[in-house]
Amino acid sequence: MNRKDRYTVAVLGATGAVGRAMLSTLERRNFPVGELRLLASPKSAGQMLEFRGQKIAVRAVEESDFEEVDIALFSAGASASQMYAPLAVTKGCVVVDNSSAFRMDPQVPLVVPEVNPRAVLDHKGIIANPNCSTIQLVVALNPLAQFGIEHVSVTTYQAVSGMGQKGIDALQRETANFGKGTTLFPVADGEVHYPMAFNVLPQCDVFLENGYTKEEMKLVHESRKILGQPKLHVSPTAVRVPVVYGHSEVVSVRFAERVSAQQVRTRLQEALGVVVVDDPLHALYPHPKMAEGTGDTYVGRIRQDLVDNQTVWMFVVADNLLKGAAWNAVQIAELLVDQAGN
Q: Taking Cα atoms as reference points, which of 69, 79, 67 lies closest to residue 13?
A: 79
| Angle (nearest 5°) at CA 250 between 245 and 251 | 125
Q: In whole angstroms, give the CA distance from residue 216 to residue 196.
A: 19
DSSP 95-161: EEE-SSSSTT-TTS-B--TTT-GGGGGG-SSEEEPPPHHHHHHHHHHGGGGGG-EEEEEEEEEE-GG
Helices (H), the chain: 17-28, 78-90, 132-141, 165-176, 214-227, 261-269, 288-291, 327-338
Amino acid at site 63: E
Active site (catalytic) residues:
132, 247
| Angle (nearest 5°) at CA 225 between 219 and 228 | 125
Q: In whole angstroms, give the CA distance from residue 127 to residue 88.
A: 12
